[in-house]
Chains A and B, each alone.
Chain A
């Protein structure tokens, strides 16, 4: 195979590498934070040994915390796809370098490169499929994406430690500012000191300047941002998110009542909320003091939306249940699926805006949004804002 693009060279690769190095830690840290946000005993996968951030009591303030962390994780992850592809394009001649292994250490390095490249592509593919509800891979998304991330992190650390000094030298060979000021097309000089093998020995005639190539990659990132950011940010941008399930919808859902097999008879007049040994009809709950809070609901898949929720404060319900300062609350849904139950921490129950919502935007909840009652807690991952609630057990501290 002959690689003839006059654009390839250690400088261009290093610019792309450094840009990725600046952004990837944000994607990694927000991903690891979201694992912690699910709460003790509820993170998936369950047993990961030492491979997690310190377990913290996930706060309820700021109320947009989970919206931010998960929005950055998914949103920035999407925006980096064209940059990752460009970086892989820029180094592809190295993949076919001969001989494939020159020393024992080089064999180890190539193993870490498989972790790096396989890892980032695996994370991108599983992440993209998950946010589009395509589970053709047939394994647990959570487990694979989380463990895959750690394999990628290991590959990334090795790559950065080994290559950062080379990238530094390569970046010193030309000025980014000068390169952006004037379009240049002459190939980078072949310089063994900054990792040879990327510059084409027999370059094709140029069709694009180096400045143009950088603009193309940046433009690709901007293009992806334009057609995806709306699912998190909302507003007029939402209409531009044309290829994502959560685009063009102001108030998305994550599971329909039909999918959760919620029978209309179970949510009708016969519905009761069980609080320990007491039970409440929906009319009983509507007679209790109502509180309205404007809160975001944000999903692990990156989308979020802000709505006005009205209902009974969870702390009022805790007092009614005879546990005014609970250590936790266990919420159960009529939904028998895997997310039909959730445990809330004391902080999450006692927040003044933590509600068992009966209405949203002044109207009764719709069946798909959790009628007759659902949990909404500031900064709580959306999947724990249990819909179709049938019981809440407040536990003593």
Chain B
């Protein structure tokens, strides 16, 4: 016999939790009714998830496959790790690096955004350079031991 819980897909406690949490979110969203920018907020909310799942993830997963094809085996990590660091910094500090929000940045801080791109490039050089040094040291040690 198929029980009600099986048909619904959850026990009463789990179902109550889901309904309560959905109600909480609906209650929170209720305070946005009448906000002229409500649609923009909803679009950005949905886009945050969609852009990650359908743009950011495929991009970095694809780049990783390319790297792994170029450099098979664990050696790929000497490129993968600094590339992840550089990509993470680019993603998080995108506005400053591409100079988005220049006017508000200047009004708030009295500084322009010009230095960020150069600093990010230096950061990339440091990450890839450090990785190359570790790689070189490991290869050297292995040769010494052999």
Contact = CB atoms under 8 A, between A and B. Distances in A.
Interface of A: 45, 47-51, 78, 81-82, 85, 88-89, 92, 95, 102-106, 108-109, 111-112, 114-115, 117-119, 121-122, 124-126, 128-129, 132-140, 143-144, 147-148, 150-151, 153-155, 157-158, 161-162, 204-208, 212, 216, 219-220, 223-224, 227, 242-246, 249, 252-256, 258-259, 368
Nearest to B109: A245
B101 A135 contact: yes
Contacts of B8: 103-105
B77 A207 contact: yes
Contacts of A136: 95, 100-101
Given A104-B8, A135-B101, A95 B53 contact: yes
Contacts of A255: 107-108
20 contacts: A51-B28, A105-B10, A121-B48, A126-B44, A129-B95, A133-B107, A133-B108, A137-B40, A139-B40, A140-B37, A143-B32, A148-B41, A151-B45, A154-B22, A157-B21, A216-B81, A243-B116, A253-B109, A256-B106, A256-B108
B89 A102 contact: no
Interface residues of B, number: 63
A256 B37 CA distance: 28
Interface in B18-61: 18-19, 21-22, 24-25, 27-32, 35, 37, 40-41, 44-46, 48-49, 52-53, 57
A162 B100 CA distance: 40
> What is the interface of chain A mostly: helix, strand, loop, or mixed?
helix
B24 A133 contact: no
A122 B8 CA distance: 31
Contacts of A254: 108-109
Nearest to A109: B18
Given A89-B57, A115-B22, A157-B21, 18 more contacts: A92-B57, A105-B18, A112-B18, A115-B25, A117-B52, A122-B45, A137-B44, A140-B35, A144-B37, A150-B28, A162-B14, A207-B80, A216-B84, A242-B116, A243-B123, A252-B109, A256-B108, A256-B109
Contacts of A204: 68
A114 B35 CA distance: 22
Contacts of B9: 102-106
A103 B10 contact: yes
B107 A245 contact: no
Contact of A243 (B18, B45, B96): B96
A34 to B, nearest CB: 17
Nearest to A84: B52
Contacts of A143: 32, 35, 41
Contact of A134 (B22, B68, B88, B101): B101
A258 to B, nearest CB: 8
Contacts of B74: 206-208
A220 B101 contact: no
